[in-house]
Amino acid sequence: MKPKLLIVGAAGRMGRRVLALAKDAELFDIIAAVEKKGHPDIGKDAGASAGVEALGVKISSDYPDDADVAIDFSMPEAAERTVDYCLENNAALVLGTTGLSDRQKAKLEAAAEKIPVIYGTNMSVGMNVLFSLVGKVASMLGEDYDIEVIEQHHRFKKDAPSGSALTLADNICKATGMDFPDCIVYGRSGKDALREKDTIGIHAVRAGDIAGRHEII
């Protein structure tokens, strides 16, 4: 019997991709596709919304009763609801939603003591390799090097800077002894914007349909 899968943020870019991959993999029984109330895709077939053949599952704002696994690429408020749902239903959780508050992160960590949880600000293999490398490189270069992170995403991305950019900066700080997030400077402006010692600048670009680019200088 296949695990029953719930996808939250089903009409978003990542949600549609997860739907398509889950359908092709044939490892799950997709039982629910959730979006926020008022979303224009509510009531549409989830497969059609994702650009694949119809699944017979309509996008809804309601959570199902009995999912075994939830995959969430949504917004922080919706993700918090998904965490609660998984705790109530003893369901495993894969969470890729970024922009979580400290309180929401603490709630997620507490949930991970009771249910299986995978959380990542970026799920790509390449970015996770980069996450592991940046701290090593920064510690080898030493304090004489200035570090800036530039991230670029499509015009519809809501949170800035990206979760991946923050993870990169956090890993650099852990390796170099800087205090995250106090050492972060979010862009620069004004007549007195000299770079201070032990800081990392993060700059966010939002334009067109950029899928996601991260540069460390």
Domain boundaries of the chain, sorted by first residue: 4-119, 125-216
Q: Is 154 assigned a catalytic role?
A: no
Confidence (pLDDT) at 107: 98
Confidence (pLDDT) at 158: 87
Pick out the chain residues at pLDDT < 70.
none
pTM for the full predicted model: 0.86
Q: Which helix (H) or strand (E) holds 216?
A: strand 213-216
Phi, psi of 47 (to 5 degrees): -65, -45
Catalytic residue among 23, 36, 58, 157: 157
Confidence (pLDDT) at 94: 99
Q: Which residues does residue 124 pair with via DSSP β-bridges, in sequence order?
A: none
Catalytic residue among 153, 191, 197, 214: 153
CATH number of this structure's domain 125-216? 3.30.360.10
CATH number of this structure's domain 4-119? 3.40.50.720
CA neighbor of 207 nearest in space, from 145, 171, 137, 160? 160
Q: Is 174 assigned a catalytic role?
A: no
Residue 69 contacts residue 4 (beta carbons within 8 Å): yes
Rounded-to-integer distance, Cα 21 and Cα 27, Å: 10
Confidence (pLDDT) at 142: 87
Measuring CA to CA, how many Å separate 141 from each of 147, 148, 151, 152, 172?
A: 10, 14, 22, 25, 11
Q: pLDDT per residue over 126-176, tens digit each?
A: 999 999 999 999 999 988 899 999 999 999 998 999 999 999 999 999 999
Confidence (pLDDT) at 80: 97
Q: What is the mean pLDDT of the chain?
A: 96
